[in-house]
Structure 1
């Protein structure tokens, strides 16, 4: 990693992923009260997922100068993620303590004064990529949030911006300001992927379906995920298209939404040349592929998807 960008040509399947790479402390299988360190962070998960699915992701983030940062860096590069636009400040890695439950995963965060949110400003790089993805905690935690907003504005102006508004609650976060920032990013985006729970939290006065239709009416490709109940795509001027979740024996749900996002982006880059005005048939194909990627994560420990079979 260097502080200066490394010039190189970008193909149409390239994606600039901007955000956090941190360490999740997740429950150890069969050992109550024991936590295991696992590389994570929604944007980092998306970058690794894209690499595993044949995309060309470049990651913009800050990696800690500690052992956790070493682990995260090896994980990203081992998957094939380009880190030439990332930096490694002399700060520790942020931690997210995961608590999986019947209604999904909750987290408690240790974020302050970490390398994870000391993002370098790569706004000038946005136009060199097929698409730019932003989301996760970096979208709402300073100083990263200002960088994410600047890159998002440039991507919306010069290319294609994809946003996944992961809404997180933590005592260190201002819920009102967080939701304002995420709504602003969704307004800039051409692609929005959000869970039904995130949509309710962002627009509490409307149903998730109504919020999706409103976003899509402004020319966006919008996908709502509902966990085990499947996913729905909304395109301007066309009926919504839904697919069921792939049946799978669930081992883990951490990172499933990020795998879905990676699947969407991998499919759009490879099969649609980033066209977001999809026919019903193509929208269904995209959802099937993304659902397969998410199912591959749910069926195993870890957050790395594999290419769906039979899609």
Structure 2
């Protein structure tokens, strides 16, 4: 079996979400895992490289990974408490993380030859802020960068990220990245006190050559490149759940390039459609190519 073209590193977890008071529901998720599933659903051979628990929560993540077509040789099962996000409130967001299965990831156990086969490696979210995992992943990112691979990075800011992350991990990953995606909320957290224009200027100064996909929710997205800026409005759908929309847009942007779409505006439309399809479903839905094409076809008529 051929090794995957994209390897996504980081965490997979279970969101334990309180809807009505006292009513809790579990949803498998985690930004890196969402992106990996999204890429695979869009036709890109992909793997999620991370450690998950050996219990029933880990079983469900493994089942959905297999269903999405991910390369299962990159998922490590460990005898440790599952990583969970306890979400007491979504509006406003109130959450915390528990468990440590993700921290046991071992890069030495990756399939032989994985780096030679990979075209792109993706990194994001809390995995880079949880030690010792964060340092392991930064080292892998450096290794992939030195091997000439594309690196994509989405900070996906969460409340456990601190000044050390802002001042050390973030600029390190930005400097290594070919493609950076971040939201307006990420930008406010990373560059507090700066205007959006000032913050984007600071970011671009760290790595002028990188593509920056800046997402603004219902206000759409803007791509910043050396060639110029390209805007894309959000594609309107009946919103069921915005969880995972940013991950879907990231998967769409990466997949469109890997599948040979070269026009930036076309890629932005594809990425925006992925986000909108995700919003039309409950949970962190990973859109399929058919769903995305159907939405794009409906708005073209």
Q: TM-score, normalised by structure 1?
A: 0.85
1:285 is aligned to 2:274: no
Q: Which has the higher helix share?
A: 2
* Equivalent-residue separation in structure 1 for 2:30 and 2:230 (angstroms): 29
* Equivalent-residue separation in structure 2 for 1:35 and 1:126 (angstroms): 40
* Equivalent-residue separation in structure 2 for 1:52 and 1:148 (angstroms): 25
Q: Is the 8 A contact 2:53 2:81 kept in 1?
A: yes
Aligned partner of residue 24 in structure 1, secondary structure: strand
* Equivalent-residue separation in structure 1 for 2:197 and 2:61 (angstroms): 37
* Equivalent-residue separation in structure 1 for 2:264 and 2:202 (angstroms): 18
Give the one of 13, 31, 49 matched to 1:22: 13
| C-alpha deviation, 1:150, in angstroms | 0.9
| C-alpha deviation, 1:283, in angstroms | 1.8
- The alpha-carbon distance between structure 1 residues 137 and 208, as it changes in their structure 2 partners (threshold 3 A), is same
Partner of 1:167: 157
| C-alpha deviation, 1:45, in angstroms | 0.6
1:224 is aligned to 2:203: no
Aligned partner of residue 271 in structure 1, secondary structure: coil
Partner of 2:70: 81
* Equivalent-residue separation in structure 2 for 1:287 and 1:256 (angstroms): 14
* Equivalent-residue separation in structure 1 for 2:10 and 2:62 (angstroms): 14
- Give the total of aligned pairs: 285
Q: Is the 8 A contact 1:44 1:59 kept in 2?
A: yes
* Equivalent-residue separation in structure 1 for 2:97 and 2:266 (angstroms): 36
Partner of 1:201: 189
| C-alpha deviation, 1:8, in angstroms | 3.6
- The alpha-carbon distance between structure 1 residues 129 and 209, as it changes in their structure 2 partners (threshold 3 A), is farther
Aligned partner of residue 23 in structure 1, secondary structure: strand
Q: Is the 8 A contact 1:212 1:222 kept in 2?
A: no
* Equivalent-residue separation in structure 2 for 1:183 and 1:206 (angstroms): 17
* Equivalent-residue separation in structure 2 for 1:271 and 1:71 (angstroms): 33
Partner of 1:301: 282
Q: Is the 8 A contact 1:97 1:109 kept in 2?
A: yes
* Equivalent-residue separation in structure 2 for 1:58 and 1:226 (angstroms): 28
Cα deviation digits, residues 54-100 of structure 1 (max 9, x gap): 11111110010111111111111111111202211111211102355
Q: Is the 8 A contact 1:24 1:97 kept in 2?
A: yes
Please show how residues 64-75 of structure 1 align to structure 2 within 5 Å. 64-75=53-64
Where do 5+ consecutive residues of structure 1 fail to align? 1-6, 273-277
Aligned partner of residue 259 in structure 1, secondary structure: helix
Cα deviation digits, residues 125-163 of structure 1 (max 9, x gap): 334211100011111101210111011112222210000
1:177 is aligned to 2:164: yes
| C-alpha deviation, 1:26, in angstroms | 2.2
* Equivalent-residue separation in structure 2 for 1:258 and 1:8 (angstroms): 25
* Equivalent-residue separation in structure 1 for 2:25 and 2:2 (angstroms): 37
Q: TM-score, normalised by structure 2?
A: 0.87
